[in-house]
Amino acid sequence: MRLDTQATQLLPTRRTRLRPVSAPCTDYAFTSLEEARAKGDELWNYGLYTLQPSTSSASSSSASCSSSSSSDDSSVSSLTRADQHTSRIYLADLQARYSAALHTYLATHPPLTPRERQAGMLLKLHDAVATLSLSTASLSPSEEVWSACTPDFAAILSLSKSILEMEDGLVSDESGISGGRGGRVGMDTGVLGPLYLVALRCRDPVVRSEAVRLLSREGRREGLWDSNLLSRVAAKVVGIEAGGSGEAEADGVKGGRLKGRRVEDVDLIFDPEEGCKAGVRFLMECGGIVQGQEGVGVS
């Protein structure tokens, strides 16, 4: 499940492959960190599947998630664009319920070992990312609305830094991340996705630059997330928005600088014939496209 959701987050045009078999529960209560993590993964996957645009084959059978009568054995299908706002409100409510249960569990079951403390911080980090991703700011057509979310981005950055610092004090079998000449490698989602979100969306230059710095500080891979790729893409986004170079292509016409414009999304294109390289297109808020000059190497 985690690799599928990672791929869907990394590639905007990709549809998640794992179809939820039921709607998530609405009454969260955890008995262990493992249960909290499993429920969080389930809710995140449900949200990604629900919010993805409907295909022609699925649009006729799309179901609204806003109904409070949704039961655990009800079928789930992706929603049409007309349902996006309603479904986000519903998902934000589910996430708030999960968040409250998570904080209650962590407060009443203090972690006893460094590994448990790290696991608890990761759950808080991913909860913060999910909560922000479902906020009203995500519905706005303007990237400038993220300016009001600087405290949220700063909190995500702070948690990520604390996790990395704690990880440095743990041996590989305790942290779940193995180290070596090629950097740190693990299969689970950790800090790379959250730091990438901060680097792309945060409007505060200090918080944003620190996120880019942490992404590029060492070779690191978490499942499909690769720090070398993400740090280069993030640095390019910052450069474009700061008025850096980039050829714009809007309405099929190339040319012009995109100074002061915001990057709305990043489209990564992997070509198997080019080996471990990804082509990058930066989709601008104004409707233009900045093409990456060269493939970005993936370590």
- pLDDT digit string, tens, across residues 242-266: 875 444 333 333 334 444 478 888 8
End-to-end CA distance of the chain: 23
Domain extent listing, the chain:
1-110
What span, in angstroms and rounded, lies between the C-alpha atoms of 282 and 290? 5
Q: Which of 79-93, 145-159, 162-176 has the highest mean pLDDT?
A: 145-159
Burial class (CB in 10 A: 0-12, 13-18, 19+), 279: middle
What is the average pLDDT across 43-57? 72
The pLDDT, as a whole number, for residue 24 is: 79
Gap between the Cα atoms of 73 and 29, Å rounded: 20
Other CB atoms within 10 Å distance of the CB of residue 214: 22
Query: CB of 119 within 8 A of CB of 178?
Result: no
Per residue in 168-199, pLDDT tens?
777 554 545 555 444 677 767 889 999 999 99
CA 270/CA 278 separation, integer angstroms: 5
Q: Please count the other Cβ atoms lying within 10 Å of the Cβ belonging to residue 271.
A: 10
Highest mean pLDDT pick, 71-80, 127-136, 168-177: 127-136
Indicate if the pLDDT at residue 156 is higher than 50.
Answer: yes
pLDDT at residue number 177: 53
Average pLDDT over residues 130-151: 90
pTM above 0.85, yes or no: no
Average pLDDT, the chain: 76
DSSP annotation of 113 reads: S
DSSP state, residue 180: S
Of residues 274 and 243, the one with the higher pLDDT is 243
60-83 mean pLDDT: 42
The fraction of the chain above a pLDDT of 70, given in percent, is 66
Specify the pLDDT at position 8.
59
The rounded distance, in Å, linking the Cα atoms of 246 and 290 is 6
Nearest one of 134, 128, 127, 126 to 152, comparing CA atoms: 128
Q: Using one digit for the tens of pLDDT, what is the confidence trace for 98-123?
A: 999 999 999 999 988 988 999 999 99
pLDDT of the residue at 120: 96
* Strands 249-250 and 253-254, bridge-based pairing: antiparallel
- Spatial separation of the C-alpha atoms in residues 62 and 54, rounded to whole Å: 8
Q: Rounded distance, CA 223 to CA 202, Å?
A: 24
Average pLDDT, stretch 236-243? 88
pLDDT band at residue 61 using 50, 70 and 90 as cut-offs: very low
How many angstroms separate the CA atoms of 92 and 56, rounded?
26
The pLDDT, as a whole number, for residue 56 is 40
Cα–Cα distance, 170 to 18 (Å, whole number)? 33
Q: Is residue 231 scored above 50 in pLDDT?
A: yes
Task: Report CA-CA distances (Å) from 186 to 3, 45, 268.
Answer: 12, 20, 22
**Nearby residues of 159 by Cβ (< 8 Å), 6 or more positions away:** 121, 124, 125, 128, 194
